[in-house]
Amino acid sequence: MITIYIDNQPHQIREGQNLLAACLSLGFDLPYFCWHPAMHSVGACRQCAVKQFKDENDQRGKIVMACMTPATEGVRISIDDPEARAFRSTVIEWLMVNHPHDCPVCDEGGECHLQDMTVMTGHNYRRFRFKKRTHVNQNLGPFVNHEMNRCIQCYRCVRFYRDYAGGLDFNVFGAHDSVYFGRQTSGILEGEFSGNLVEVCPTGVFTDKTFKKHYTRKWDLATAPSVCIHCSVGCNIIIGARYGRIRRVLNRFNSQINGYFICDRGRYGYEHILSEKRLHGSRIRENGGHKELRTNEEILRHLTPLIDGKRFIGVGSPRATLESNFALQTLVGTENFFHGVPDRDHALVERVISITKMDPTLTPSLDQVKNCDAILILGEDISETAPMLALAVRRAVMDEPRRHLAPKYQLPLWQDQALQEVTQNKPGPLFLATIGKTRLDNLATHRLSAHPEELSHFGFALAHAIDPAAPDAGETSAEMESCVKSIKEALLAARNPLLISGTGLGHAALIEAAANIARALRHQGKNAYLDFVLPHCNSMGLGLLGGRPLSHALEMVSQVDGIIILENEISRSFSSSRTNQFLGAAKTIINLDIMQTPTSDIATLSIPVASYAESEGTLVNQEGRAQRFYRVVPENPNLRESWSWLVEMMALIKNQPERLGKTPHEITTKLAQVNPIFAPLLSLVSWGSETQKIPRESHRASGRTAMTADISVHEPKPADDPGSPLAFSMEGCHGDVPGNLLPRYWSPGWNSVQSLAKFQDEVGGPLRQENPGRRLFESTGNPIKNYFAVSEKIKKNNHGRWQVVPLYHVFGSDELSAAGAAISERIPDPYIAISAKDAAQLNLLENSRIRLIADREQFERPVKIISSLPAGLVGVPMGLPGMPYVEPGTIVDLIAIPDHRDNEK
Amino acid sequence: MLSELEKNEIGEVLAHALPGQDMSIDVLAIVQKHRGWISDEAVIDISACLGTTPSNVDSVASFYNLIYRKPVGDHVILLCDSISCWVMGYPTIRGHIEKRLGITFGRTTADNRFTLLPVACLGACDLGPAMMIGETLFTKLDEEKIDHILKEHGWQP
């Protein structure tokens, strides 16, 4: 700790910061634009000027930019100095010269950093009386709205999109007072992090296009802390709603996971809640037709004869909460509880769980990933399956040269531009061993493109090379040999090498090979990490609950009275023929889901349930971190949470005496009591004071008394939310609440998301009283270190047929987000991918039609030629709307379909 | 499509450098030398031969005053509007040229003969007001001199 003097008062701060970060950490209001806690300083906007003095006798001082000046021991500055104040006020007046002052029609109004800073500096009268420069805006696609006239040239957008996130299709054009931020030509912003521009931009140049469709000012949004459900990483988000309608998603800071950013799947995926495919009414099959059930009583009346005294099996879901899955498991009994996932995923998730349990210290948080100094990705295309992990990897790789060059050039790590010059943007060690090209390729030191079997073979060979005690994979090719050698050297030269793999390729040997490499590195004394990407937001939670593989349900279904399907579309786990076989054999299907699906269409009884924004519950992410999310709108009696229906059913089935509970809080508590692995959940749901809850509405939410005035002038009682730390109210504890329970970031004078700094002891650091989720795996201190044997199946097959490999898409592969309006515009059309070599051999062109024939499935789709795909593989996009499920690794036949247009000629 | 001549010249320049955005200026200058200006299509072609994105090339092209992203006339008049020339009578000179050619800054005459652009400094501060047409610098301008220069470049009153 060092002492600095601000306006003659001593303050203790951590060494190594710049003055702006130090001032903000100490709680001072110092205006800034170009600086960002995750992107650091460039000194472009000149807004954070302060006066620096040589010593206590220096009366004159000099003006310096706080963000570019190191906070060193004994430094003396003044924020309040009249000259510094005048300087800042002049700078903002000049930045505002071309600003259109269109706040009333601007979506940023009310949460605008530019508004806040303008007020803060006291620039309140416009003297500029000349013509303002104007720009033509671009259509940037379905996510981001563009209004360039509002720009104040802080350059944060390009610094995020290009420098931080590695996007290429966005840039800055022009010079002097006519600088333009956008694409070279109008068109879709392709990067999967483009939505962050909305939060990064200090004013309204980039705003949320989906929010525009149902816009509400920030202060009128009821908000609640939530967790993203669109991949296994579990980024934290804030969901905003008004009049019971979900309106937008913003990033929620979690020091261990997503920090300041989220991906576009997470930001725009919420629109599935508003989709036409959303289920609203219950209906039952009767006399060959459907009957709508209007009330809960009516549903219960029809439910009773269906389940009373009957024997059901349950299909759980990796996208439903722990609570709902637990309720189903309790209802049907563990032996009748099946995981609604492909058997292969089920086995892989179990494998990942057992590896994680053996040594939880191997698993990094996303924040730790950013500090790893050599990374090997084995098999998983993380840019598509876990975008925020890919962003963390990008940062780790780009920051690695900075970390070791900065001391050499005596540069602090916050000197962004200088460090870019010093490193020449040369990335650190990153090795990719995947089946085809990925969006991280341009950072890779070395990349290997091969069959899944060859990749795991390579993995085992690498583990053996690092630690000869690890089993040998047998012969390797000369090319692979040299690859193993160079990667081994790079990993052993690092302090924190990281292995990333996952369930994406559906290949168990890959996961074991990755575990072997990580363990071998630990044996060599490295602080190695091992991270696995899982298929869904609660794959880990479902796996930990226990249950049987879905194919076993296929055998049991004819012996029982019916199936209860929890938030699950069966055809995503089974081929079409097996789906039909399974659902056809069921005497009764009770389906609880958010969305209309083929399964809900044929269900005996279909009950719509609450989405994640409308419920409270727990999800466990890929690292085993349990996180609680909260509802943003009051419970809708017609859209109850799944567990609440399952609890009702327990009461109806007569041999189930005990009710699990009436609130999510009670269910979670029960789960923690009966299943020891979930015992840590108690600390997640216990919240200090029940007397002062945290209000979801801001203290200046408007319209409360007018909302229902057309019905009655008496204000209705606020909805209850028992057990939850949050209230449906404007009143309650606005102040010092645990960081992870903050429903919004706001502080007097700081209306924008930049107010986040007011909730941190040090900008960029953890939130005050933050509980960043709870890791369920405790280190035993005695990790199991033995190696997996080399699986016999990893030999590449050479039978001349085709092997299915799954391909993934950020926009499309996730079931729920794909139903959102904006995201659906970005989903690729279904296809079957083959390599360029195979296409030439089969005489196939891009988009010519091809038929894939597997044992239980066959379908026809256009061909997509992927030059980087190894020959002999056929890429099938997973989960894309219109694509059936084909098990990874399946051996299939391909038949080219003659082009009818040619025949007509 | 870049012409063979352009491709050869670009090849010569790139032979001595690493490809990438860094070489944009040189390549843009070559293409502009042949065509007079840089079209959207040229930006794409140049980015392809540099192995970078069109946005990277355009970012450079649009930054520089003397890389023209719109068609220009046969003669580009670069009139200095910096402080020395201003003091020495730039406003009168500008008004005179605009009156004679019937165009304002950034415009091209209807006969496509002249384009009028401001320039920050021509390095002739001791000889202001100054302007440049092609490679030729004209200094100590007055109205009479302007008429003479314009006529020399094909202006007909």
**Shared-domain flag, residues A468 and A330:** no
d(CA B156, CA A516): 84
**Could you read off the pLDDT of A188-241 as tens digits, one per residue?**
999 999 999 999 999 999 999 999 999 999 999 999 999 999 999 999 999 999
Residue A219 lies in a domain: no
| Claim to verify: residue A730 and residue A815 sit in the same structural domain | no
Would the pLDDT of A905 be above 50?
no
Q: Which of B15, B11, B16, B3 is nearest to B42 (CA)?
A: B3
Same domain? A509 vs A548: no
Q: Is residue A438 exposed (0-12), middle (13-18) or buried (19+ Cβ within 10 Å)?
A: buried
> Does A475 share its domain with A608?
no
What ipTM was estimated for this complex? 0.91
In Å, how far is A174's CA from the nearest CA of chain B?
4
Q: How many domains is chain A partitioned into structurally? A: 4
Quick check: is A183 in a domain? no
Domain boundary among A509, A535, A561: A535
Contact across the interface for B53 and A168, Cβ inside 8 Å: yes
Predicted pLDDT of residue A779: 79
The pLDDT score that the predictor gives to residue A707 is: 82
Residue B62: which of A168, A174, A183 has the nearest Cβ? Answer: A174
Q: Is position A242 within any domain? A: no
Residues A375 and A330 in one domain: no
Residue A99 included in any domain: no
What integer is the mean pLDDT of A32-49? 95
- Condensed to tens digits (0 to 9), the pLDDT of residues A671-680 reads 999 999 999 9
Which 3 state secondary structure label does DSSP give A678?
helix
Q: Which two tokens stand for residue A450?
A: 């091969």
pLDDT mean over B3-20: 88
- List the single residue in A with minimal CA-CA distance to B57: A184
Contacts of B40 in chain A (CB under 8 A): 185
Please indicate, yes or no, whether residues A731 and A623 belong to a single structural domain of this protein: yes
B55–chain A Cβ distance below 8 A for any pair: yes
Residues A722 and A600 in one domain: yes
Structural domain includes residue A208: no
Does residue A529 sit in the same domain as residue A581? Answer: no
User: Is A777 a residue whose pLDDT tops 60?
Assistant: yes
Q: How does pLDDT run across B100-120, given as a tens digit for each residue?
A: 999 999 999 999 999 999 999
* Candidates A135, A140, A159, A171, partner chain B, best to mutate (most B CBs within 10 A): A171
Instruction: Identify whether the C-beta of residue A805 lies closer than 8 Å to the C-beta of residue A873.
Output: yes
* Residue of A758, A819, A816 whose CA lies nearest to A27: A758
Residue A325 sits in a domain whose CATH number is: 3.40.50.740
Residue A195 belongs to some domain of the structure: no
Tell me, yes or no, if B104 comes closer than 8 A to chain A by beta carbon: no
Which contacts (CB < 8 Å, 24+ apart) does range A292-298 have?
Answer: A296/A637, A296/A638, A296/A640
A622 and A728 inside one domain: yes
The predicted structure's pLDDT at residue A176: 86
Quick one: B152 exposed, middle or buried, by C-beta within 10 A (0-12, 13-18, 19+)? Answer: exposed
Percent of the residues in chain A that have a pLDDT greater than 90, as a whole number: 84
A904 band by pLDDT with thresholds 50, 70 and 90: very low
Instruction: For residue A628, name the pLDDT band (cuts at 50, 70, 90).
Output: very high
Helix (H) or strand (E) holding A592: strand A589-593
- Confidence at residue A733, expressed as pLDDT on a 0 to 100 scale: 86
Sheet holding A9-13, edge to edge: A9-13, A2-6, A76-78, A49-53, A62-65
Look up the CATH number of the domain holding residue A11: 3.10.20.740
Instruction: Say if B119 is an interface residue toward chain A (CB within 8 Å).
Output: no
Q: Is B40 on the interface with A (CB under 8 A)?
A: yes
In a domain, A858, yes or no: yes
What is each CA distance from A528 to A376, A492, A506, A518, A681, in whole angstroms? 11, 10, 24, 6, 28
Q: What is the mean pLDDT of chain A?
A: 93
Per DSSP bridges, beta strands A497-502 and A374-378 are parallel
A615 touches A641 (CB < 8 A): yes
Predicted pLDDT of residue A690 = 58
pLDDT of residue A658: 67
Partner residue facing B55 (CB), from A174, A175, A184: A184
Reported as a single tens digit per residue, the pLDDT across A411-420 is 999 999 999 9
In the three-class reduction of DSSP (H, G, I as helix; E, B as strand; rest coil), residue A396 is classed as: helix
Final residue in a domain of this structure, among A80, A106, A132: A80
Q: Does B39 touch chain A (CB under 8 A)?
A: no
pLDDT > 70: percent of chain B: 100
Cα of B42 to nearest chain A Cα, Å: 13
**Distance (Å, rounded) from C-alpha A489 to C-alpha A445?**
13
pLDDT > 50? residue A275: yes
Q: Are residues A333 and A402 in the same domain?
A: no
What confidence tens digit (pLDDT) does each residue in A174-196 have?
998 899 999 999 999 999 999 99
Residues of A in contact with B56 (CB under 8 A): 168, 171
* pTM for this entry: 0.95
CB A612 within 8 A of CB A229: yes
What values do phi and psi take at A572, rounded to 5?
A: -85, -10
Interchain pair B62, A183: CB under 8 A: no
pLDDT bracket for residue A656 (50, 70, 90): low
Q: Which residues pair with A228 in a beta bridge?
A: none
Segment A886-901 mean pLDDT: 85
Q: What percent of chain A has pLDDT over 70?
A: 97
CATH number where A836 lies? 2.40.40.20
Is the pLDDT at A902 greater than 60, yes or no? no
Q: Residues B49-74: what's their mean pLDDT?
A: 93
State mean pLDDT over A763-770: 93
Q: What is the pLDDT of residue A124?
A: 85
A666: enclosing H helix or E strand: helix A664-674
Q: Are A384 and A510 found together in one domain?
A: yes
Domain-ending residue, one of A480, A504, A535: A535
Q: Is residue A131 part of a domain?
A: no
pLDDT for A484 equals 94
Domain residue limits at A868: 802-904
The reply to whether A375 and A453 lie within a common domain is yes
User: Considering all CA atoms of chain B, what is the largest pairwise distance in Å, rounded to the nearest integer?
Assistant: 50
Mean pLDDT within A824-835: 96
Minimum mean pLDDT range among A122-131, A244-253, A584-593, A609-618 = A122-131
Question: B55–A171: do the CB atoms touch at under 8 Å?
Answer: yes
Report the pLDDT averaged over residues A700-704.
Answer: 87
Query: Per-residue pLDDT averaged across A131-137, rounded?
Result: 95
pLDDT tens sequence across A516-544: 999 999 999 999 999 999 999 999 999 99
